[in-house]
Structure 1
Amino acid sequence: MRIRLDPWPVDTFDGQLTLSPFAGLVFNAEMDRWAALPTRGVPERVRRVLVVDGKPRMEARLLLDDEAGTLSVAGFGAFVVGAVDLCPHGTRRAELQGVAARRVLAYSGDARLEAARLSPRNPHSGRLEYDPHPFSGAQVEGARSKIQRLMLDAEQQMSADLASPLPLDETDPDALPDTLVLQDGPVRIGEAGRAVVGYVKTLHTDYLGADRIGLLTELKPGERTPILRFTLGDRGEGGEGGREQRFTWYVRLCEAPFYQHPLAGVMRLEMHAPEDSEFVPRGVQDIADLSGALLCRLASQPHKDPRAPQNLIPTAALEQAMGRAMGSPELVTRRIRAHLAQEYGRAVGA
């Protein structure tokens, strides 16, 4: 028996590798031969790459009761969505885009709540404004799920707005976009026709099977697998209901040290596919060809990030900026308590 290390820190939600078989069917899309393919570099035509990510935060759980004594749950929370705008050829400095906190009062029940505005004692620290958003059900974690859903919707909208259109023609020589979006996590329903690539940092679902997964251990940095196509329905990684075609392939970002599991340093990428397509659009093919070179440039190092190399350098910088935008969680919690104490005191006095 050989013991190998999962390189991701134990305080992350999941390990880097927890493979479970994909419930659906996976088909060859690019070629029938299953072998490693080299990267072809990043063409000059690609002038902008934007790395998009989001960060949610639950700030306080609430319990509501009305005059009839009916109880319901709610919560204060916040989320940030932003992007890092960079040149893949290194001709300019990377810039942050759209990093601003949005605060949410997520609630269940029939009665509509008004926006909550928390004014600080110190005017320099700004007002916290929580916009009401109802959710169905009465689960305690319903508020957290609502905040997560709002964040994902905003992330999807930002990716679609920033990315270039992507022609789905098989042979169009001008299909490679000048602006490419790398979106943390799987692509989502509604992003088809845009140059959006979802990058999945953790390998939780096995799309390859025992006869093909061995190729991932043989990939050299920058190399990729051939493109595959699968149908996502009600089950599968990142499933959101409905039926949708997607392309996927794997890229190796770095060599795995001998003491780590052999899939360390491998990332899965995915893009939307035309319904029941028998070909890979030229734009998707070109993006897959450049993906190895691009991601190897953006990959992080273990001494900088414990989730290296999959947690890309722009992603780590964006995570820090998003955390600053939401503010100190301890300070926000104190302001929520002070606000509720003040409102409750007024009600008791009345």
Structure 2
Amino acid sequence: MTITVPRMEFTVDAWDPGYGAALDHEALGEQKITTAELDLGIEVSAADWRPISPGHSAATPDVLLIADGVRRIDARVWSHQPDDAVPLPGIAASSAAGIVRCVPGGGTPATVVAVEVSRSVFSASLDVPDIVTAAATYRGRRASGATMEQLSLALQQQLAELEVDVAIRYRAEAGSDDLLLVDGPLRGRTHLPRTVGYIKTHHTAYLPAPQVGIVSALAPGQRTPVFLMGTSWSRHAWYLRLPVRSATPWAGIVRCEAGADLFADEVIALADAVTRLLPSLAGVDYKDPRAPQNLVPIGGLEKLLRHRLGDARLLYRSLRVAATRDGAAPYERPSVSV
């Protein structure tokens, strides 16, 4: 007797697993229950949700600005302050933020128009002094706690502040009100005018099951209807799919966010413009392991910013020398006593 075993069919996600997961597998099911308050009827009723293809009449901006930032921990440090009962752990870190200017369809290459580098030392100590080295000065910043997670969060918050500062400064100096795309959620940046948050990875399924199915059904260049989402903060959002060869359910899916204070017609026009604009900027998998979500201008800006962070080995040695100079014997790598 012959037994036929059904052949399992599968697809492979284009996203490089070395960067984590573009989509948390639990986000496709109901394992992660979100407490977000949703208004699915901003553009159409929840029952009428369907993939939307923006028409050619949808206005696209003449110029798109993209803001992004990178960070790097240069050394782990221990602070010895008179008010501290025991030495407290900290991190000395470098961060950089920049703006790249794109002219959609104009044949003009993307141009980096602003870059700023910041170096900081983070600690839970009550008083965090600056660290002055021969290579750089690290400005003291207090973290909410001494765990690595709390120190890393303080660094991430500082980077977000730097990105906002660079964007505000560039717009003011250039007299620009061009559309600004910021890499990551819009949290803490909702006050910026004409600004859209761009989220490449998904860890929570914010939408109910019927609407999640609409996300999976999107074709490249299509988006979901706009909806309003409230967690600890409120914003408009929509999902769109970038050009991608993979057939996995959420391949090439990104989420965009806009301010909650926009009128419905304003955010719908913005969603149409962004959905028409971004596919032409999508990354390609033979060049970027995070394609297509990591847009080509973002990948180029990140490469430049990492270069601007400076030589990690030189900065680490300068921190060790500064610690010894100030009278403390440095710990073995990777820690520096200051």
Q: TM-score range, shorter-chain basis?
A: 0.7 to 0.9
Q: 1:268 aligns with which of 255, 263, 280?
A: 255
For 1:222 and 1:295, locate their aligned partners in 2 and report how far apart those are by CA, in whole Å.
8
Specify whether residues 136 and 291 from structure 1 end up closer, same or farther in structure 2 by C-alpha distance, changes over 3 A only: closer
Matched to 1:65, the amino acid is H
- CA deviations 1:262-307 (Å, max 9, x no partner) are 2101111111112xx8x51x33221111222211011010001010
What residue is the counterpart of 2:235 in the other structure? Answer: 246
- CA deviations 1:112-135 (Å, max 9, x no partner) are 42x22211xxxxxxx311111122
Give the TM-score taking structure 2 as reference length.
0.83
Structure 1 contact 39–289 (Cα < 8 Å) conserved: yes
Of residues 299-308 and 87-96 in structure 1, the stretch that sits farther from structure 2 once superposed is 87-96
Of residues 2-11 and 147-156 in structure 1, the stretch that sits farther from structure 2 once superposed is 2-11
For 1:55 and 1:208, locate their aligned partners in 2 and report how far apart those are by CA, in whole Å.
30
Matched to 1:197, the amino acid is V
What residue is the counterpart of 1:316 in the other structure? Answer: 299
Structure 2 contact 239–254 (Cα < 8 Å) conserved: yes
For 1:55 and 1:37, locate their aligned partners in 2 and report how far apart those are by CA, in whole Å.
34
What residue is the counterpart of 2:309 in the other structure? Answer: 326
The equivalences for 1:189-208 within 5 A come to 189-192=188-191, 194-208=193-207
What residue is the counterpart of 1:23 in the other structure? Answer: 35
Specify whether residues 332 and 178 from structure 1 end up closer, same or farther in structure 2 by C-alpha distance, changes over 3 A only: closer
Structure 1 contact 300–312 (Cα < 8 Å) conserved: yes
CA RMSD of aligned residues (A): 2.6
SS in 2 for 1:203: coil
Specify whether residues 92 and 338 from structure 1 end up closer, same or farther in structure 2 by C-alpha distance, changes over 3 A only: same
SS in 2 for 1:204: coil
The equivalences for 1:83-98 within 5 A come to 83-98=99-114
For 1:213 and 1:345, locate their aligned partners in 2 and report how far apart those are by CA, in whole Å.
56
Shift of 1:67: 5.0
For 1:346 and 1:24, locate their aligned partners in 2 and report how far apart those are by CA, in whole Å.
50
Q: Structure 1 unaligned segments of length 5 or more: list them.
A: 120-126, 165-176, 234-243
2:144 counterpart of 1:131: no
Matched to 1:254, the amino acid is P
Q: 2:273 aligns with which of 279, 290, 308?
A: 290
- CA deviations 1:193-232 (Å, max 9, x no partner) are 6111111101222122221222223222111111111112
Shift of 1:64: 2.0
Matched to 1:60, the amino acid is A
- CA deviations 1:226-257 (Å, max 9, x no partner) are 11111122xxxxxxxxxx32111111111442
Structure 2 contact 114–170 (Cα < 8 Å) conserved: no
For 2:227 and 2:23, locate their aligned partners in 1 and report how far apart those are by CA, in whole Å.
20
Q: 2:78 aligns with which of 39, 63, 71?
A: 63
What residue is the counterpart of 1:337 in the other structure? Answer: 320
Identity level (%): 27
Structure 1 contact 99–321 (Cα < 8 Å) conserved: no
Structure 2 contact 80–86 (Cα < 8 Å) conserved: yes
Of residues 101-110 and 68-77 in structure 1, the stretch that sits farther from structure 2 once superposed is 68-77
For 2:166 and 2:287, locate their aligned partners in 1 and report how far apart those are by CA, in whole Å.
28
SS in 1 for 2:126: coil
Shift of 1:149: 1.1
- CA deviations 1:156-209 (Å, max 9, x no partner) are 344455569xxxxxxxxxxxx961111111112352461111111012221222
Q: Structure 2 unaligned segments of length 5 or more: list them.
A: 1-7, 331-338
Specify whether residues 204 and 306 from structure 1 end up closer, same or farther in structure 2 by C-alpha distance, changes over 3 A only: same
SS in 1 for 2:17: coil
For 1:151 and 1:100, locate their aligned partners in 2 and report how far apart those are by CA, in whole Å.
11
What residue is the counterpart of 2:336 in the other structure? Answer: none
Give the TM-score taking structure 1 as reference length.
0.80
Of residues 297-306 and 140-149 in structure 1, the stretch that sits farther from structure 2 once superposed is 140-149
